[in-house]
Amino acid sequence: MHRKLLLRMFSLTGLVFTLTGCAIMAPSPPQEQSNICEIFREQPDWYDHAKDSQKKWGTSIATQMAFIQQESSFRSHVKPPRSKILGFIPGPRPSSAKGYAQAQDPVWGEYRDQAGSTFARRTHMKHATDFIGWYNTRTQAQTGISLNNPEHLYLAYHEGAGGYQRGSYRQKPAVQRAARQVAQRANRYRGQLVRCESEFQCDSFYQIWPFCRAD
């Protein structure tokens, strides 16, 4: 009996260390989040992931990164804060949102079934950028919003296609403000990326910066 109890304790301890280790091993949020060039200089792999998503789904790199900055400030394991019971007892979270893109359980399940894989993780930038690209393509098909319209793409991202079509965001000033911020940030990121993208194009052994060219 004691042996079984010890084995259970070791298993739980191992699980805690595994989960904690994943969070510890995750990249730190970029220090300069207002400049996409600095973001990619800190995390060059993020450029590759966003570029792959852009080629696959059509949402620009700048818009993807503006979404992620708004949703999580580039924190890989962030979740909505818990509510407080009696002002101090931790209560339930308001939603199942998690990770870079703050995707919730139901829509993340749809993404994994339709476009991702069983092993897709919300805490990995590759899957977060791919998710945003997939979601915006679905939004475009359902609502007709252009992939070049980050403000309204974000409104639909936050409210869902049905909520967007019903105009639910019109009664939510905070959501409208966030959508405008996303659009402004996407435009700023786009302008910055023009000046530095060639730095991140050197993905072949024969390419040497600054002689790479953005495609």
Q: Can you spell out the DSSP letters for 155-186?
A: HHHHHHHHHHHHTGGGG-HHHHHHHHHHHHHH
Query: Of 65 and 90, which is predicted with more confidence?
Result: 65
Global confidence as pTM: 0.82
Mean pLDDT of 152-170: 98
In 3-state terms the chain splits into helix, strand, coil percentages (rounded to 5) of: 65, 5, 35
Q: Mean pLDDT, the chain, as a whole number?
A: 84
pLDDT for 93 beyond 60: no
Give the span between the Cα atoms of 81 and 67, in whole angstroms. 19
| 34-76 pLDDT tens trace | 999 999 999 999 999 999 999 999 999 999 999 999 999 999 9
How confident is the model at residue 203, as a pLDDT? 60
What would the DSSP string read from start to end of 76-105? TT--PPPPEETTTEE---S---BTTTTB-H
